[in-house]
Amino acid sequence: MDNLDLHIDTVKFYTDSKVVLGYISNETRRFFIYVANRVEKIRNLALQVNGIMYQLTVIPQTSGTRSVPAHEIHSSEWLLGTKTTSFLRTEEF
C-alpha cells in the first residue's frame, strides 16, 4: 500500500469463514508459524493507513457452504437473499 498513489480512507476484509475471523480478531492466543505470519500480514496491511477503520464481515451469500440446521434452511439468507446490501461497494472508482 505504501507504493500506491491513492488516498485510502477505509479498508474492508470480506471472508466466508468464521475461523478466519477468529484468527484475525484473537490477539491473546499463539498460532502455528504458518497461520501467525498470515494473520500478522493482514493486520499490518490494515494498520498501514492512518486512522483506518476495518471491518471483518462474513459474506452472507456463502452461508450455503456452511452448516445450517435443517429447520433453518428454508429461511436462510442463502435461499432468500440478504436483508441488507451494506456489504456491497456502492461507490465508484
pLDDT band at 21 (very low <50, low <70, confident <90, very high): confident
Report the predicted TM-score, pTM, of the whole model to 2 decimal places.
0.39
Residues 52-86: tens digit of each pLDDT: 444 445 555 556 666 667 787 777 776 776 665 55
79 Rama sector, left if φ>0, alpha if ψ -120 to 50, beta otherwise: alpha
Residue 58, beta-bridge partner list: 15
Residue % of the chain over a pLDDT of 70:
47
Task: Give the pLDDT confidence score for residue 73 in this predicted structure.
Answer: 72
In whole angstroms, give the CA distance from residue 48 to residue 33: 22
The domain limits of the chain are: 11-92
